Amino acid sequence: MTRRTSLDNPDVNLLQRIWRSVFPSPVRPHTEMGRKRFLRGNLILHFRPPTVKEKTLIFTLSWGLGGIAATLVLLQMATGILLKFIYVPTPIDAYSSVQSIMVQVPFGRLVRNLHHWCANLLVVVLMLHMLRVFFTGAFHHPRQFNWIIGLVLFATVLAANLSGYLLPYDQLAYWAVTVFTAMMGYIPGIGRWLQQALGNGSELGPRTLPFFYSMHTAVIPLLLAGLMGFHFWRIRKAGGLVVPRKPAEPIDEMSPRVPVVPNLLIREVSTALAVTATVLILSIFFDAALSAPANPGLSPNPVRAPWYFAGLQELLLHLHPVVAVCVIPLAAGIFLVSIPYFAYPQSSEGIWFASSRGRTQSINAAVTSMVITPALILVDALVVKTAPWAVDLSPVVRDGLLPLLLISALTTGGIFALRKRWGARLNETTQSLFVAMVTALVVLTLVGIFFRGPSMRLIWPF
């Protein structure tokens, strides 16, 4: 007796046979076995594990942030490819092509707005994702390297934003990128070479726009796709997300599991749909800005960096460029990269804010940073910039060495106080330092956005 499968069943018509050759298992499986077959038989879904730990599905663990980021990246690719059909990457035609996207191309305004809002939201969402990963201790073994991949992803998204920012070739774009390439010039050693490669040394050259365009629409999307695959594979290798627990509880290795289809899938799809709906609404009501065409002879007043670089811009107002461009970002980068590799006395994975002591210390660190950062800004703006003793000092000392010494002294003092006075362990010290750093960045960004007026003078916005 030969076994008849549905595939060679002569009773099934041609269309049905074709359908089944593409989707071998039923599309709406009703049994547990059927669901597993469906999962394995589907190219996209078979990258997922068959089951996940039930506790990791709780919304307040991940806040859906990683999934939101992935959705936004996909939307960027979809809208970006559409824009690429109309956009012309030459200094002469770029501006008018973007203008025609906005006023002539059907749905052009919507597509450009979507690309604009997704780009900005992506930065916010990634910062929040990073905070949640940090505060749930999800950087401990075995997720150490995934934290690093995440950092590279974040840098890549910032690079995408920066390179995209130039493309409309309006005044905002032109001057933000002029400032950026000039910043590159201060990197010791390779700076001048980089600046030459990006522009023609003193101004944006004829090769700058094609360079940024190729980066933005080819190199960066490929990098992002590869890195995201790597990121997701690592999550799976680590056995899924961290399992949330109370400070006293041990790590639960045998947490009960539930099938991915439908439990995880339905959450992911609904998050993706909600995100898409939100950015659609934003894009219908709020237009992406397009200022006057680029004019190398006239810097608008004030020149503002995009909001995610406003903190860096604020640093540039106070410090010697080498310190603001190299020393501080490098120190912050080294700190972020080494976070998973300190010799912690114990893993705090799954515990929000490491411990209850960690929570109070984090709040203290945030408050301290919230007081010290504006104080330093005011001291520099009101005293150091005008005081007679400071005018004669060499800029390297006044804007470089002295502030660096001050910042190092404050950081060392803070660490010392935490360890000796409040008995913090390494987990909590690192956390407080991270919190102080993030708070300082937030304060600098807010000052840069709201408290700077014409000629970048400090103003009171209310």
DSSP 392: T
Residue 175 makes contact with other proteins by CB under 8 A = yes
Single out the segment in contact with ligand HEM by CB under 6 A; choices: 67-75, 200-208, 257-265, 424-432. 67-75
Q: Which of 434, 416, 252 is nearest to 353 (CA)?
A: 434
Strand partners for 53: 257
Which residue from 96, 202, 278, 338 is in contact with other proteins, where contact means CB under 8 A? 202
Strand partners for 452: 458
Which residue from 455, 460, 461, 462 is in contact with other proteins, where contact means CB under 8 A? 455
Residue 87 makes contact with ligand HEM by CB under 6 A = yes
Which residue lies nearer to other proteins by CB, 219 or 258? 219
Residue 384 makes contact with ligand HEM by CB under 6 A = no
**CA angle, corner 46, sides to 44 and 48, nearest 5?**
95
Single out the segment in contact with other proteins by CB under 8 A; choices: 123-131, 172-180, 347-355, 360-368. 172-180
Residue 181 makes contact with other proteins by CB under 8 A = yes
Which residue lies nearer to ligand HEM by CB, 105 or 370? 105
Alpha helices in 2-64 (DSSP H): 14-22, 32-40, 59-62
Residue 300 makes contact with other proteins by CB under 8 A = yes
Which residue lies nearer to ligand HEM by CB, 7 or 78? 78
Tell me how far CA of residue 343 lies from CA of 136, 140, 207, 353, 427, in angstroms: 18, 10, 47, 18, 9
Residue 272 makes contact with ligand HEM by CB under 6 A = no
Distance, in Å, from the CA atom of 314 to the CA atom of 444, rounded to the nearest integer, reads: 6
Binding mask 14-53 for ligand HEM (x = CB under 6 A): ----------------------------------------
At which residue do the structure tokens 């749905």 appear? 107
- What does 197 bind: other proteins, ligand HEM, none (CB cut-off 5 to 8 Å by kind)? other proteins
Single out the segment in contact with ligand HEM by CB under 6 A; choices: 6-14, 65-73, 204-212, 308-316. 65-73
> For the chain, give me the number of helices (H) and strands (E)?
20, 2
- What does 62 bind: other proteins, ligand HEM, none (CB cut-off 5 to 8 Å by kind)? ligand HEM
Tell me how far CA of residue 94 lies from CA of 86, 100, 169, in angstroms: 10, 10, 6
Which residue from 39, 121, 157, 377 is in contact with ligand HEM, where contact means CB under 6 A? 157
Long-range contacts of 309-315 (CB under 8 A, 24+ apart): 309/162, 309/176, 310/444, 310/445, 310/448, 310/449, 311/441, 311/442, 311/444, 311/445, 311/448, 312/444, 313/179, 313/448, 314/377, 314/444, 314/445, 314/447, 314/448, 314/452, 315/444
Which residue lies nearer to other proteins by CB, 66 or 403? 403
Give the contacts of 375 (CB within 8 A, at least 6 positions apart). none
Distance, in Å, from the CA atom of 428 to the CA atom of 359, rounded to the nearest integer, reads: 9
Interface positions, 201-230, toward ligand HEM (CB under 6 A): 216-217, 221, 224, 228
Residue 302 makes contact with other proteins by CB under 8 A = yes
Given CA atoms 37, 43, 45, 46 in this order, what sign does their dihedral have?
positive
Q: Which of 333, 329, 308, 305 is nearest to 319 (CA)?
A: 329
DSSP 57: G
Single out the segment in contact with other proteins by CB under 8 A; choices: 122-130, 202-210, 274-282, 431-439. 202-210
Smallest distance, other proteins to C-beta of residue 301, A: 4
Two tokens, residue 175:
């001057």
Which residue from 52, 121, 133, 215 is in contact with ligand HEM, where contact means CB under 6 A? 133
Binding mask 359-398 for other proteins (x = CB under 8 A): --------------------------x--------xxx-x
Q: What's the full length of the chain, in residues? A: 462
Which residue from 196, 255, 263, 411 is in contact with other proteins, where contact means CB under 8 A? 196
Total Cβ atoms within 10 A of residue 146: 21
- How big is the site for ligand HEM, counted in residues (CB under 6 A)? 51
Contact indicator for 152, 227 with CB cutoff of 8 Å: yes
**CA angle, corner 446, sides to 445 and 450, nearest 5?**
125
- What does 456 bind: other proteins, ligand HEM, none (CB cut-off 5 to 8 Å by kind)? other proteins
Residue 211 makes contact with other proteins by CB under 8 A = yes
Given the rule CB under 6 A, which residues bind ligand HEM?
62, 65-67, 69-70, 73, 76-77, 80-81, 83-84, 87, 98, 112, 115-116, 119, 122, 126, 129-130, 133, 138-139, 143, 146-147, 150-151, 153-154, 157, 160-161, 164-165, 167-168, 216-217, 221, 224, 228, 231, 235, 238, 241-242, 288
Given the rule CB under 8 A, which residues bind other proteins?
175, 178-179, 181-183, 196-197, 200-203, 205, 207, 211, 296-303, 313, 316-321, 385, 394-396, 398-399, 454-457
